[in-house]
Amino acid sequence: MTDRNTDAGSSLAALNQWVLEVARLTRPENIHWCDGSDSENDALIQKMLADGTLIKLNEETHPGSYLHRSHPDDVARVEHLTFVCTTERDDAGPNNHWMAPDLAHQQMDSLFDGCMEGRTMYVVPYCMGPIDSPLSRCGVEITDSPYVVANMRIMTRMGAAALARIEREGTFVKGLHSTGDLNPDRRFIMHFPEELSIQSFGSGYGGNALLGKKCHALRIASHQARNEGWLAEHMLILGIENPQGETHYIAAAFPSACGKTNLAMLIPPQSYVEKGWKVWTVGDDICWMRPGPDGRLWAINPEAGFFGVAPGTSDKSNPNALASIQRNTIFTNVAVTEDNQPWWEGLDKRVPKTDWKGNAFDASKGPAAHPNSRFTVSAKQCPSYSPHAEDAQGVPISAIVFGGRRASLVPLVFEARDWTHGVLVGAAMGSETTAAATGAVGVMRRDPMAMKPFCGYNFADYFGHWLSMENAGSKMPKVFHVNWFRKGDDGSFLWPGFGDNIRVLEWMIKRVKDEVGAETTPIGHLPKAGDLNLDGVQLSAEADTKLFGYEREGWAHEFASIAEYLQEYGPRMPKALLEECANTQARMAG
């Protein structure tokens, strides 16, 4: 067992002390401080190939790429086992499972006791965001999983540079993780926002084990953001460059597996490409926004990689994502073809040899790839990766977009009247559940700002924080809502989606620049006929009505449900948001 030499007066002394305390509790055979080097990564990969943690894929078609198969009971986030541990229960809010910090620490200490015996304990310093950005924040994850280390190297700025920043700043988020025995009955993910710490036991799945991701970048960071006056959001960031060379940046929130990655890497239709339109990818999942000196919100992607959903990713749905993962990629729970290539439903017409569990593929026994199978890859491998993604000051946000899966009622796009109404639009978001979390699929649930599983404190206070971002001198982004998933009476999608979504984004930019008007309705502003470019898109009369119409009776029922939902948060719910909801209902009745 080794420890790191640090001066008693150094700001690393606290880190070293914590590492030693964890080692005394978990009793690892070795301690390894990760430096993020190529040689270190190569050694880890060889170790995992030797013990079967990783399987090498076809080197000719997917050089430097590997398959990991997780335990069949460990394939998604476990929201029901995820806790926010604040001193006061109300600070966690009804949107989180709560446990008293003392009780949570006692429970986790008993699980971690001796759990790393015979294993190596890895100390992983990392930075969320560009290493030199004032918007970035650092953390250290202690883990006994080399798979986690390899993924954290891709997903964060991990290693020596992050450790140097921690030494300069003297502060970091503490994350402790062990795969334990992978027993679902001994699996917990605990967050201690007041301590800036995370403890995760019993899972190797990304969202539960890569503590820089949802745990730090959203649950803990949202708490930090509230205290420090910024926003940590479950949003993609993309840049849209028009033929005049202007680039507008959009942040968009969608629940998991609802097309965030597809939108972030959108390729415009040929007619748009020929005119000079370009789409730049800054991030596909998480966005940190801070008010700049000019009053605008400036954003960074705190992640350095993509942890994307594989099923449905294809040359048709997302060519840029597919191009990104042809090399140096870790695939998790996908199927494998006869010639050892990764495969999943929606990729192509080939029939895989083995399924995600490693068994001979049998179509009667379910899908070949797990519905929540993943790829981990550096964002820099994306063909549309933005040259400004590493800018220390971030990129300025022109518009914020909310959306979800709604088969009925919700039109293709509408714009909020103002910032307060926009916060209501985000707070009222509803979507049909997907396979990214355990539980039933296809059930409609409220998912405010796509943050329901990720907000580290009381949603009522969170809405209040959003409202507080607008003040004298601020230039808030316009807020929009989209629904790519509206269906017709026959159950088919009414909007073509994918690359054609740029038509909706173009209308948003025109609204930002005040170049087009809009139809005013009680729910917000809808596109006027002819203002949204539909050249080359064939829409039925039903599609035209449902995608661009306002259904008063259906929305009256929707807002009755929204009003009831907001009341669930009790006296902490901001009065301004309740009034905005009541005003919208009055507009419908008027």
CA dist., res. 425 & res. 406, Å (int): 14
Beta bridge pairs of residue 236: 252
Q: Is 473 annotated as a binding residue?
A: no
Q: Is 452 annotated as a binding residue?
A: no
CA dist., res. 435 & res. 205, Å (int): 14
CA dist., res. 269 & res. 274, Å (int): 9
Q: Is 214 annotated as a binding residue?
A: yes
Q: Is 340 annotated as a binding residue?
A: no
Residue 61: Cβ-neighbour burial (10 angstroms; 0-12, 13-18, 19+):
middle
Tokens of 244: 């005049």
Q: Helices in 265-386 by DSSP H: which ranges? A: 270-275, 319-324
Tokens of 84: 């926010």
Q: Is 262 annotated as a binding residue?
A: yes
Q: Is 258 annotated as a binding residue?
A: yes
CA dist., res. 372 & res. 359, Å (int): 18
Assess contact for 546 and 537: CB atoms under 8 A: no
Greatest C-alpha distance within the chain: 74
Q: Is 205 annotated as a binding residue?
A: yes
Q: Is 499 annotated as a binding residue?
A: yes
Assess contact for 462 and 455: CB atoms under 8 A: yes
User: What are the backbone angles phi and psi of residue 584, rounded to the nearest 5°?
Assistant: -65, -40
Assess contact for 314 and 346: CB atoms under 8 A: yes
Tokens of 328: 């140096």
Q: Is 217 annotated as a binding residue?
A: no
Q: What is the DSSP letter of 297?
A: E
CA dist., res. 74 & res. 576, Å (int): 42
Tokens of 582: 């009541």
CA dist., res. 183 & res. 179, Å (int): 9
How far is residue 429 from each of residues 185, 209, 450, 482, 586, measured CA to CA in Å? 32, 28, 7, 10, 20
User: Of these residues, 258, 287, 382, 455, which one is catalytic?
Assistant: 258
Tokens of 480: 């929009």
CA dist., res. 248 & res. 260, Å (int): 18
Tokens of 273: 């490409």
Q: Is 327 annotated as a binding residue?
A: no
How far is residue 396 from each of residues 288, 296, 515, measured CA to CA in Å? 12, 7, 20
Tracing tokens 């954003």 back to the chain, one arrives at 299
Q: Is 93 annotated as a binding residue?
A: no
Q: Is 119 annotated as a binding residue?
A: no
34 is annotated as an active-site residue? no
User: What are the backbone angles phi and psi of residue 396, rounded to the nearest 5°?
Assistant: -80, 135
Assess contact for 437 and 453: CB atoms under 8 A: yes
Assess contact for 170 and 91: CB atoms under 8 A: no
Q: Is 256 annotated as a binding residue?
A: yes
Q: Is 405 annotated as a binding residue?
A: yes
How far is residue 350 from each of residues 269, 345, 490, measured CA to CA in Å? 27, 10, 29
Residue 469: Cβ-neighbour burial (10 angstroms; 0-12, 13-18, 19+):
middle
Q: Is 552 annotated as a binding residue?
A: no
User: What are the backbone angles phi and psi of residue 353, rounded to the nearest 5°?
Assistant: -85, -45
CA dist., res. 194 & res. 101, Å (int): 10
Q: Is 458 annotated as a binding residue?
A: no
Q: Which residues are catalytic?
A: 258
Binding residue ranges for substrate: 77, 205-207, 256, 372-374
Binding residue ranges for Mn(2+): 214, 234, 285
Binding residue ranges: 77, 205-207, 214, 234, 256-262, 285, 372-374, 405, 498-501
Binding residue ranges for GTP: 257-262, 374, 405, 498-501
